[in-house]
Amino acid sequence: MEYKAAFVAFSEFINDQSLSQMQIVFIKKVIDYIVQNGYIENVSELMKPPFDKPQSIIKLFDVARQKKIVEAVAKIKENAVKIVG
């Protein structure tokens, strides 16, 4: 996936002025991973390296934002699988 497309998929988070620096770093890790790998196979990967350092998604985001991140990751995978399949 191209960086611009991944960035757009997470623009709601990137443009959120209330996010902390650590939250922004987490979102950028997700974007970089998707750009390099096409998509995240399973949302449970968001709990594992490289996403768990310095803090996990659970500690960084409230439940509503966690859900939105998971939905964005799932949508990217769904679209990628449709294109390939």
Note the pLDDT of residue 12: 87
- 17-32 pLDDT tens trace: 899 999 999 999 999 9
Domain range enclosing 53: 3-84
Burial 24-44 (b: 16+ CB within 10 A, else e): eebbeebbebbeeebbbeebe
The total number of structural domains in the chain stands at 1
The residue among 1 and 30 whose pLDDT is bigger is: 30
Cβ atoms within 10 Å, residue 22: 11
